[in-house]
Amino acid sequence: MSKSDLAEPASCTNTESSQRRRFFPQATDEQWSDWKWHLRNRIRSFSRLSQLLQLSEEEKLAADGSGLPVSITPYYASLMDPTDSMDPIRRCMVPVINETFKAPEESEDPLCEAEQSPLPTLVHRYPDRVLFLTTNLCSSYCRYCTRSRTVGQKTETGLYTRSAWTENLQYIRDHREIRDVLLSGGDPLMLSTETLEWLLAELRDIPHVEMVRIGTKIPIVLPQRVTEELTSMLKKYHPLFMSIHCTHPREVTPESSQALNKLADAGIPLGSQTVLLAGINDEAEILKQLFHRLLRCRVKPYYMYSCDRIIGSSHFVVPVQKGRDLIKALRGHTSGYAIPTYVIDAPGGGGKIPVGPNYIESIDENRVVMKNYEDDLYVYQQ
């Protein structure tokens, strides 16, 4: 881990500005502030990648691979080191040949979402909540994406349309046990503000829906999308929560911090979801820096996930015991608010299972023997 990997957010500005001038010299300040310009100018091919980065052999060999397409916003590309293929931001976005290797334990749909989908774009896994897939598009595609089988791929006509949404909405109306709806995809913030508002208004019109959540990485990869128009619209539909996907402390830049603070100022409770990735964020100091920076932006570290076993994910996988050790290394050495719940989203559709460190040595009807963060023993009489 280099010192530059953990540079303070303010110190990123000069580097990112330099990368912006090198990668996108034609972009004016007005264009750089326009989220639609970033979408139009996404990096979507290896020929374009090779103009910006010194590609490694592992990256070059991935050029003929199939599967999840390449898409990287100019803003997010400006965070990458053009000469270091092990740069953590770059490794999350640029394909490598390892993606084409399939291990026996890997599958296209490791969480068996298709089997728990009463409708093509609605997953009903837990009794009181549903996952509502609004789109299969993202501004930037993470190489470890759980839904790489569908995200960015050609799909059946009509899957992600208002007609399909209307069927989902009717299902939610018919199932009064559903009190929580998570909008995901793809990334719901890829929708126009008007379209997203239509969907939120429809959900808010269902009496038994108590809360709506949006799962998104856009404040991290395309912070320009978080406009005053967007936040003014979102704040009309409380209680509205947002789960931010964030992986590395270098992602928390002045631009992303501003976007997150705008959302928090709109009264939206923010939580982060971080996938534990080998060679990217599997060190306690990196995680602590990430979680501290998120807290400064009023984002509560919510979940830390083991990598879902999609096809070609082996090079990202961190042993579960190491993940438990990382959480243990945080406990007692930082605020409780800075420590997420470490979970595995169970293969086969079993849902999220906490797998954090165990602090109980023994328990009976009279007492509990516990270890604290320094491994000292304590007894609690019950």
Q: Is residue 374 part of a domain?
A: no
CA distance 100 to 98: 5
Find residue 123's DSSP bridge partners: 131
Active site residues: 125-126, 129, 138, 142, 145, 147, 308, 345, 352
Q: Is residue 39 part of a domain?
A: yes
Number of domains in the chain: 2
| Structural domain that includes position 119 | 114-357
Find residue 275's DSSP bridge partners: 305
Q: What is the pLDDT of residue 13?
A: 54
Distance from the first to the final alpha carbon of the chain: 45
Residues 173 and 82 in one domain: no
Q: Is residue 17 part of a domain?
A: yes
The CATH number given to whatever domain includes residue 277 is: 3.20.20.70
Q: Is residue 265 part of a domain?
A: yes
pLDDT digits (tens, 9 = 90+) for 120-135: 999 999 999 999 999 9
Residues 96 and 119 in one domain: no
CA distance 153 to 156: 10
Q: Is residue 379 part of a domain?
A: no
Residues 279 and 139 in one domain: yes
Residues 282 and 160 in one domain: yes
Q: Is residue 134 part of a domain?
A: yes
Query: Which residue matches tokens 């270091």?
Result: 84
Residues 125 and 248 in one domain: yes
Q: What is the pLDDT of residue 3?
A: 38
CA distance 324 to 355: 7
Rounded mean pLDDT for each run of 10 residues along the chain, 382 residues in total:
44 64 89 96 95 95 85 96 96 95 94 95 97 96 93 81 95 98 97 98 98 98 98 97 98 97 98 98 98 98 97 96 97 96 95 95 96 95 96
